A = this chain, B = another copy of it.
Amino acid sequence: MKLVAIGIVESPLTDRASAPKQGDEGAPEAWLAFEPAFADALDGIAAGDELLVLTWLDRARRDVLRVHPRGDPRRTQQGVFNTRSPDRPNPIGLHRVTVAEIDGTRMRVRELEALDGTPIVDVKPLLRAVDER
């Protein structure tokens, strides 16, 4: 099970300590710079769309199984699968974003908390109601 990078995040966020924990907690705009080889896979995505972006959180620790939620030592430790901690056995980030602009294989998105240089591994549309799929 080997992932390939389909692109990379370009963001003003450069270190984990200063990044918001979730996109809707004040995250900035970012660019998703996709590899040109995957241009066809982006076909149909348009400005205004809401997407789920999956990333590889390359600065996370993979040997952590329990954490204080939100890094708050006053909160009881939980298993990482019961938290959104980036530290987890397979550090896959899941980010809900809105597309602001598309320029070829580059896409400007709103409210992404991933750090600059984070590899992108997948993109999925938000699911609509069952009868609209």
Residues of A that sit less than 8 Å from B by CB: 1-6, 21-22, 24-25, 38, 40-45, 49, 51-52, 54, 56, 58, 65-66, 69-70, 77-84, 88-90, 92, 94, 119, 121-125, 127, 130, 133
- CB <8 Å contact, A6 and B89: yes
Expressed in whole angstroms, the Cα–Cα distance for A52 and B95 within the complex equals: 13
Alpha-carbon separation in the docked complex, A130 to B80 (Å): 19
In the complex, how many angstroms separate the beta carbon of A80 from the nearest chain B beta carbon?
Answer: 5
Whether B41 and A84, one on each chain, are in contact in the complex, defined by CB atoms closer than 8 angstroms, is: no
Q: How many copies altogether?
A: 2
What B residues does A51 contact at CB under 8 A? 81
Verify A40–B56 contact, CB threshold 8 A.
Answer: no
Q: How far is the CA of A94 from the CA of B119 in the complex (A)?
A: 18
The smallest beta-carbon distance between A5 and chain B, in angstroms, is 7
A122 contacts across to B, CB distance below 8 A: 81, 88-90, 92
Contact A84 B45 (CB under 8 A): no
Contact B70 A133 (CB under 8 A): yes
List of B residues within 8 angstroms of A3 by Cβ: 1-3, 90
Q: Is the CB–CB distance between A94 and B43 below 8 Å?
A: no
Across the interface, A43 reaches (CB within 8 A) one of B25, B38, B58, B82, namely B82
